[in-house]
């Protein structure tokens, strides 16, 4: 229990300043550092008095943790801070109520001071296995599939947070021994997981984490001799470079991905070609971009789903229509007519299954922006409101940026009441999508 302290104890300048500042962390820090009976009090000791971990108390003392009035009251009572010194009210100090409060505290033990969903200090330190096999490969694949499904449904938020923990565990399996026949499969599985986590980070705007994960994926592809994973990862890296406005880097990456195209499936060749077409279009090389889209269509026509690796399951008719349309949008804008880009986006919206609501939202927002810029603004409003509705359940910074593009395209037409209404709807979601 905290020791009894005389009234003059609270007159110490540091304590008076902390109390005046209404900063409970500073109060506790000054309380600990003021000599009690000739000695200072350790942080661990005070933490035990108020039912906190030392780490949590350190965060409170440094002003990094949020706390409510109930917790402030409990801490003040436990540290025996006089009521008249505080900026908030303690419960009635009559004997009956004090006894009741003490009984309540006892019934509540042990208490958890931190928000129950805060796990900043929680670590899982399971020892790594010395020998891994096909079971671990399947575990990694299972985790990857679950994370990819979550990302497609809700965006990269939760998938990325969970994925980092899975990736940490998966990378530890690479340090264990495995049979020569298992090692390439394990490397490919871990690399695929790293790519999914990287894309989740990309989706929420954490580009440093995304780049690190993509490098892990590329290393696994090179180490395991997986041309398929190498091409897919380089293509994802090119997408990120495009997003960051690094078009020359994006072109180099996607052309590296096309090296030894004979080693990858027709689906992979199509997915890579549409990204290259998009870079070319953004560079103003519109004829080359259109020709590359034609090559992508030809590759896609030859695809055999059974031959594709797991990470290409998403690249179906809807995805190809939406991705190729995105490559054609700069051409449509320059020609001032929606053209083939709009037709492909409409096809993508119709074909996207319920497993890919984010992709449907992207295609809808892009078609709305295209019509707002060079088509019918009234049609754009209908599409835009649908995009807002689709985006409401997504944690995706990329989606938020797409909606901002639509909002920017709407500004010349804001005198139209329906467009003004759309702008208000967009403003309501782009702040926290």
pLDDT tens digits for range 75-106: 777 888 877 777 666 655 444 444 434 443 34
pLDDT score, position 128: 61
pLDDT score, position 94: 43
How far apart are the C-alpha atoms of 109 and 325, rounded to whole Å? 60
pLDDT score, position 274: 98
The helix or strand, by DSSP H or E, that contains position 132, with its residue range, turns out to be: strand 131-132
pLDDT score, position 51: 81
The helix or strand, by DSSP H or E, that contains position 343, with its residue range, turns out to be: helix 339-351
pLDDT score, position 246: 96
pLDDT along the chain (433 residues), means of 10: 73 75 78 70 84 81 67 78 72 44 42 49 62 92 93 85 89 90 95 95 93 95 95 97 96 95 96 98 97 98 95 94 97 96 96 90 96 96 94 88 95 95 87 47
pLDDT score, position 189: 96
How many other β-carbons are positioned within 10 Å of the β-carbon of residue 80?
Answer: 14
Specify whether the CB–CB gap between 183 and 173 falls below 8 A.
Answer: no
Specify whether the CB–CB gap between 399 and 359 falls below 8 A.
Answer: no
pLDDT digits (tens, 9 = 90+) for 388-428: 998 888 889 999 999 999 999 999 999 999 999 999 999 88
Q: Please, is 58 exposed, middle or buried when counting C-beta atoms within 10 Å of its C-beta (0-12, 13-18, 19+)?
A: middle
How far apart are the C-alpha atoms of 187 and 129, rounded to whole Å? 16
- Nearest CA-CA partner of 241 in 207, 273, 213, 218: 207
């Amino acid at each position: 229990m905290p020791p009894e302290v005389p009234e003059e104890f609270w007159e110490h300048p540091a304590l008076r300043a902390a109390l005046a500042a209404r900063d409970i962390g500073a109060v506790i820090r000054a309380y600990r550092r003021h000599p009690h009976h000739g000695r200072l009090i350790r942080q661990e000791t005070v933490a035990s008095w108020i039912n906190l971990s030392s780490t949590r108390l350190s965060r409170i003392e440094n002003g990094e943790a949020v706390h409510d009035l109930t917790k402030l009251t409990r801490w003040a009572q436990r540290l025996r801070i006089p009521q008249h010194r505080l900026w908030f009210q303690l419960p009635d100090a009559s004997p009956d109520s004090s006894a009741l409060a003490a009984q309540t505290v006892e019934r509540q033990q042990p208490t958890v001071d931190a928000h129950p969903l805060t796990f900043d200090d929680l670590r899982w330190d399971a020892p790594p296995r010395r020998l891994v096999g096909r079971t671990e490969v399947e575990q990694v694949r299972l985790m990857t599939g679950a994370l990819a499904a979550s990302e497609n449904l809700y965006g990269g938020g939760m998938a990325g947070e969970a994925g980092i923990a899975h990736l940490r565990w998966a990378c530890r399996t690479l340090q264990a021994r495995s049979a020569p026949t298992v090692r390439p499969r394990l490397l490919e599985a871990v690399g695929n997981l790293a790519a999914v986590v990287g894309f989740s980070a990309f989706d929420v705007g954490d580009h440093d984490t995304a780049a690190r994960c993509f490098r892990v994926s590329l290393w696994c592809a090179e180490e395991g001799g997986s041309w398929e994973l190498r091409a897919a990862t380089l293509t994802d890296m090119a997408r990120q470079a495009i997003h960051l406005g690094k078009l020359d880097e994006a072109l180099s990456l996607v052309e590296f991905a096309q090296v030894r195209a004979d080693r990858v499936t027709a689906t992979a060749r199509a997915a890579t070609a549409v990204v290259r077409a998009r870079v070319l279009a953004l560079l103003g090389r519109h004829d080359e971009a259109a020709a590359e889209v034609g090559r992508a269509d030809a590759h896609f026509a030859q695809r055999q789903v059974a031959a594709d690796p797991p990470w290409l399951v998403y690249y179906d008719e809807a995805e190809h229509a939406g991705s190729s349309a995105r490559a054609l949008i700069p051409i449509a804008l320059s020609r001032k007519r929606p053209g083939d880009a709009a037709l492909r986006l409409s096809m993508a919206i119709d074909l996207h299954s319920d497993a890919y609501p984010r992709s449907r939202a992207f295609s809808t927002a892009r078609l709305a922006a295209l019509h707002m810029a060079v088509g019918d603004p009234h049609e754009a409003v209908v599409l835009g409101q649908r995009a807002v509705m689709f985006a409401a359940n997504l944690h995706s910074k990329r989606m938020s940026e797409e909606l901002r593009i639509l909002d920017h395209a709407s500004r010349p037409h804001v005198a139209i009441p329906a467009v003004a209404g759309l702008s208000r709807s967009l403003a309501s979601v782009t702040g926290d999508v």
